[in-house]
Structure 1
Amino acid sequence: MMARYEITDDQWALLKDLFPRQARGGKWLNHRTVLNGMLWILRSGAPWRDLPERYGKFGTVNQRFNRWRRDGTFDKILKALQIRLDKAGKIDWDLWLVDGTNIRAGRAAAGARKKKHPLDTLEPDDHHLGRSRGGWGSKLHLVTDGKGLILGATLTAGQTHESTQLHNLIHSVRRPRRIGWPDQLAGDKGYSYESTREFLKDCGIEPVIPRKSNQKRPIGERFDKKTYRKRSRIEQAVGWLKECRRLATRYEKLGLSFLGFVKLGIMLKYLRILGPLDRA
């Protein structure tokens, strides 16, 4: 009997060939059991030490989580699932939605070691932690398609303004070779800067961004209210991610580890959208 938070046989069929080959012999815990353990931590928000015994030793599951985020396994899985979603026509490449959300950090997120792992060279010195009006924590920046499907994510310190990360955010999306930039990109007033609008126009993207009250709209400028209403879909995507309790509050000392859990959450959403009958 499948326990709560575990993936189904059909979902595992989509993933099993994407993991590193397991060593033969010895007491090697199978990948499916380990993945279910990670998903239990993701959804429950519990500390690693509280991992149920059915998933093996918490240290083993934690070590493999770190190995997979470092060797690109999580990225490989997301890329493969995105290809399936694209083939199934479930991605709207014409409209992208962007937003940022603050993630409060718990006490466990403090005190990361100054000496970095050789494979964690991209980890910043501040570990993507800082103070903002939302408190001490990080800011998660997301880009979704027009349906609210998360296509990319970046992490910064909590005080970082959303508009400064737009370039990095849209370049985090893995687009198929045949796909160019979207026709439109919708964001809230936090992205309403002339530099942002010019950057988008240089990419051939129409900005669907409302102007602030102290900004004058140029004569003849059109604002697509119908498209802007679709921005609620990225807010729904943020809400769904935060239902994964490990993402509602940050407990990881390293920003890269927190991003690893974000990728797990996105993977879980992809699997639910693909559905149990998708075996393409």
Structure 2
Amino acid sequence: MRLNDNQWAVLAPLLPQPVKRTKRGRPRCPDREVLDGSLWILRTGAQWNALPKGEYPSKTTCHVRFQEWTEQGVFPAVLAALYEMIEELQLLDLREAFIDGTFSAAKKGAQMFGPTKKGKGTKIMIMVDANGVPLAVHTCSARPAEVKLVHDTLDGSFGMDFPKRLIGDQAYDSDGLDAELATFGISMIAPNRRNRRKTQDGRPLRRYKRRWKVERTIAWLQSFRRVRTRDEIKAQNFLGMVLLACSIILLRLISG
């Protein structure tokens, strides 16, 4: 997987400028080549040492640069800038949004993972707008219930705007969550669980039929094998892979 010229033209100004070296040494490998190498890892799910020699920079160059970008908070900054571009292009629809979580199996030795019926793994929470455009992501141990992760997901928003309505499945049916979101001006819409009193009527729940939009975006996210199965030991590196995947999804919308 490589960035085309239009995508690179959008992305290049968003990456940090390299620090000028005072000592002699090898010239810095271009960011575009390093990013293409990282995208190959993201798409294939292969190990860094499996990078095809001659096609991409060395595994050390790509991995070290990726970690630098992760530690410097480059990917959240890139997503914030891409979010603004999508907003300017009027591609966002915040009249309603959808939220859901997906599971990524974690390899042995990974930080911040939890045991579930599916095995050990990491949970990826994602919120999308009415068109399925990613608005926020959050990663954590797979153990906590999704209803407890909504606030953290909102905190991981790429922009500053909140949707008017947030739609989820039965896992988000909670009076406490309804009250919390109401303080942000957000109406929570979720089918009632069987053991709960009825709090949602039929009219708002018609919006629930459009929940396939978040499921479609999750499918886009899981098409990146490094996201579908977690190989990163460090939690921040795995989050970096998820954010990079979201950046590519937004970049495709912008560059066409």
**TM-score grouping bracket, smaller chain normalisation:** over 0.9
* CA deviation after TM superposition for structure 1 residue 73, in Å: 1.3
Amino acid at match of 2:39: L
- Contact persistence 1:210–1:223 (CA under 8 A): no
Match of 2:196, SS? Answer: coil
The question of 1:29 aligning with 2:37 is answered: no
Deviation, structure 1 residue 223: 4.6
Preserved contact between residue 132 and residue 216 of structure 2 (Cα < 8 Å): yes
Q: Is the 8 A contact 1:128 1:155 kept in 2?
A: no
Distance 1:223 1:169 in 2: 26
Task: Give the TM-score normalised by the residue count of structure 1.
Answer: 0.85
Distance 1:142 1:28 in 2: 35
CA contact (8 A) 2:41 2:226 kept: yes
Q: What corresponds to 1:150 in structure 2?
A: 134
Tell me the residue number matched to 1:18. 14
Tell me the matched-pair count: 251
CA contact (8 A) 1:94 1:146 kept: yes
User: What are the superposed Cα offsets for residues 173-224 of structure 1, whole Å, 9 maximum, x if unpaired?
Assistant: 1334xx4x32111011001111111112222212111101111114x85551
Amino acid at match of 2:127: V
Task: Determine if the alignment matches structure 1 residue 195 to structure 2 residue 181.
Answer: no
Cα 1:241–1:174 shift into 2, 3 Å: closer
The C-alpha deviation readout for 1:83-105, integer Å capped at 9, x for no partner, is 11000011112212111111111
| Cα distance, 1:255 vs structure 2 | 1.2
Aligned residue for 1:267, secondary structure, equals: helix
Structure 1, residues 106-134: CA drift from partner, whole Å, max 9, x if none?
Answer: 23xx1x6xxxxxxxxxxxxxx22110112
User: Please, which runs of 5 or more residues in structure 1 have no aligned partner?
Assistant: 113-126
- Pairwise CA RMSD: 1.6
CA distance in 2, matches of 1:170, 1:254: 23
Counterparts of 1:188-267 in structure 2, within 5 Å, are: 188-218=169-199, 221=201, 223-267=203-247
Q: Name the counterpart of 1:115.
A: none
* Structure 1 residue 41 displacement after superposition: 0.3
Q: SS at the partner of 1:224?
A: helix
Residue equivalent to 2:105: 104
Say whether residues 1:167 and 2:151 are aligned partners: yes
Is residue 135–residue 159 contact of structure 2 (8 Å, CA) maintained in 1?
Answer: no
SS of equivalent to 1:156: strand
**Which consecutive unaligned segments of at least 5 residues does structure 2 have?**
none
How far the C-alpha of 1:225 sits from its partner, in A, is 2.8
The alignment partner of 2:181 has SS state of helix
4+ long deviations beyond 4 Å: 220-223
Code of the residue aligned with 1:152 in structure 2: it is: A
Q: Percent identity?
A: 29
Corresponding residue number in structure 2 for 1:117: none
* Secondary structure, counterpart of 2:194 in structure 1: coil
C-alpha distance in structure 2 between counterparts of 1:155 and 1:175, whole Å? 18
How far 1:35 moved relative to its partner?
A: 0.4
Q: Give the whole-Å Cα distance in 2 for the aligned partners of 1:72 and 1:270.
A: 18
Q: Is the 8 A contact 2:98 2:168 kept in 1?
A: yes
Counterpart of 2:149, as a letter, is: Q
Q: CA shift at 1:244, angstroms?
A: 0.6
Using the size of structure 2 for normalisation, the TM-score is 0.93
Question: Contact conserved, 1:208 with 1:223, CA < 8 A, in 2?
Answer: no
